[in-house]
Structure formats: C-alpha cells, structure tokens
Amino acid sequence: MPLPPGPSVTLRGFRPADVPVVAAIVAEALHEHYDPSLYASLSAEWPEGFLLAANAHEVPVGFLLGVSQVEKEARVLMFAVERQHRAQGVGALLMANFLERCRGRGFRRVTLEVRVSNATAIRFYTRYHFSVVDLLRAYYSDGENGYQMARDLP
C-alpha cells in the first residue's frame, strides 16, 4: 500500500520544555547558540508565530519562529529542520501553516534574512514566492553577506 503523502509529523506550539531540542536544532542547522531564555521571550508576543513540527513521540524535528516587529508584517527569525528529516516536506508544512497564520492575523508582508551561500534555503523560499529585496553586507557574525527576502500576502 503506498504511503500517504506528506511528513509523519504534527504541528504544535512552543512549550518551555522544548528549549533543549530547539537549541540543538539551531546549533546543528544554523550554527548559532543563543541564551535559552531567548525562545520563550521571542514567543511571548506572538505565540502562534512559533510553530514546531513534532514526531510521533512529541519531539520537535523542525520549527519556524516568526515575529512581528513592524505593523502588518511578519519576519521569519529562525527556520530549521533536523538534517535527517529534511526533504520530506516538513519545511513545506511549517511554511504553509505559518503563511496561513500570517494571513489570519491580517499581515500584508513577510520578510526574512538568509545567507547568500544558502542555495537550498533560497530555492525553498523562492518556491514560496519570496524574492530578494536587499543585499545585507556583512550581515552575519562571520562577515558573510545576507539577502533580505520578502513576499506580499494577497
């Protein structure tokens, strides 16, 4: 019998107990290390903007953390899927759901930043109708340039 399409994960909101797993995904996928308190404080203003994809054991395998710092706009601050769970549609599930939540909140635009070398993520975002709107020189701590990408929400 063919497997149903889509990843075998469920979406849910962030819980404080998720911090260690989320931090591990951030370290592996984004090579960043933040103070553990950052996640709860970022989620406080718009809890629905912090989406986790969890496996059958409720363990997060990917997440998208969006914030809203500009009126009617969302910004994807962090987005990552554990390496062994990539290319299975988890990222697509997170992004599609996030964009729906943005529309539900009446946002008109979504922005994000990405390393110019991150071809995989740029291709992913392009598929979701993001396009490059700015070059951010030496945006990253190691000096790499970033692209700001954005899309409107009709």
Spatial CA neighbour of 77 closest among 116, 38, 105: 38
Cβ proximity to ligand COA: between 43 and 75 the closer is 75
Spatial CA neighbour of 105 closest among 40, 63, 46: 46
80 near ligand COA, rule: CB under 6 A: yes
Using CB under 6 A as the binding criterion, the count of chain residues that bind ligand COA stands at 18
Restricted to residues 112-151, the positions that interact with ligand COA (CB under 6 A) are 114, 118, 120-121, 123-124
Report d(CA 13, CA 4) in Å as an integer.
Answer: 24
In the shown chain, the binding pattern of residues 19 to 58 toward ligand COA, with x for contact by CB under 6 A and - for none, equals ----------xx----------------------------
Residues facing residue 81 across a β-bridge: 62
Spatial CA neighbour of 75 closest among 105, 47, 109, 110: 110
Select the residue interacting with ligand COA from 51, 52, 65, 90 (CB under 6 A).
90
Cβ proximity to ligand COA: between 66 and 91 the closer is 91
Which spans of this chain sit near ligand COA (rule: CB under 6 A)? 29-30, 79-81, 86-92, 114, 118, 120-121, 123-124
